[in-house]
Structure 1
């Protein structure tokens, strides 16, 4: 939450909510838990957010905002295709995957994201695909890569592969190993 440029009260609510979701899981977290963590009354929390779903949706949106910024920054660096992809995959994972896999309730939180915030997840994943597709197109145009299909299809393969790595990883370290392997394989396959 350190990068959120929002009202301090809303930031306190979101930080308290993330802490409660990570500690108790989505289903067991109450508005009282969130209010207590933010050092506010429940009524004060309701002045900013309609309900727990609204808070969670806001968290999902901010995670994707931070993730797209980190991804764009990682892809703007020079280097071998596999090295840049590895940095990008790890930057993306640091924002979304690490907090999820560090919580005993990570899979429940992933599920909650898909059920309560499906539109935000869909939009966030589309933004990630666009960033990867744009980077791939630039690499191809500069003569540094060749693709067997379109940049959009390759970007979709990247995001779906990373999503699969996130869901199947037993730990953040497992995810990082998979992300590094994926970067190495893709880099070797598309680097010119």
Structure 2
């Protein structure tokens, strides 16, 4: 693990860094990235500016730490949802809600949501890519386990679980780019999940 990623993961476990990350999230949502200053974050975290600089080099570092903490939490919650009882489609949709829809609703509720997404794509794209890969693995494992229980050979049907999981997230990203967010996006995800479940149960 490189030093940058290690420091970002420490934001989840170090109480001081975690407090800053929590405070910074509220400030970024309220004021956006460009208008937020290190002074704003220091005040929100109830720290002096020098104390803040002892833990983070700049605002971009804090933004990356916020993203890393949010996405780590979403993966943990998605994994828990996939392990719970219920049908495959229920578990997949619950995991999507924990991993993605909850974050989307939070960002969309901010008047600076689009700016935050743009900044995320610019300075935290690597974190988002790792998060997506991790979620694809989690969903692929759940799909593979369900197929095994049903005796469905997805590989023979040229529908390997990892490809189905990746396709699900490709569809979600495509809908987002087309502006299909909120309820419309969640309904679209539900249709894709049902198609996956049909493949698992009927092949």
1:52 corresponds to which of 55, 59, 78: 59
Equivalents in 2 of 1:55, 1:182: separation in Å? 35
Greater RCO (CA < 8 Å, at least 6 residues apart): 1
How far off is 1:133 after superposition? 1.3
Q: Is residue 90 from structure 1 mapped to residue 97 from structure 2 by the alignment?
A: yes
Match of 2:7 in 1: none
Q: Is residue 77 from structure 1 mapped to residue 87 from structure 2 by the alignment?
A: no
Instruction: For residue 34 of structure 2, give the secondary structure of its aligned residue in structure 1.
Output: coil
- Mark the runs of 5 or more structure 1 residues left unpaired by the alignment: none
Match of 1:13 in 2: 20
2:118 corresponds to which of 111, 114, 129: 111
Match of 1:177 in 2: 187
- Mark the runs of 5 or more structure 2 residues left unpaired by the alignment: 1-10
1:37-94, Cα deviation, whole Å (9 max, x unpaired): 1122211111111111111111111122111111111111233222222212212235
Equivalents in 2 of 1:49, 1:40: separation in Å? 12
Instruction: For residue 25 of structure 1, give the secondary structure of its aligned residue in structure 2.
Output: helix
Q: Is residue 143 from structure 1 mapped to residue 153 from structure 2 by the alignment?
A: no
- The normalised TM-score by structure 1 is 0.86
Match of 1:155 in 2: 165
Match of 2:34 in 1: 27
- 8 A contact 1:75–1:84 mirrored in 2: yes
1:131 corresponds to which of 133, 138, 160: 138
1:114-162, Cα deviation, whole Å (9 max, x unpaired): 1101111111111111111111211122126564421111111112222
Larger Rg: 2
Aligned length: 189
1:168-191, Cα deviation, whole Å (9 max, x unpaired): 456534433333333233333433
Structure number with higher helix proportion: 2
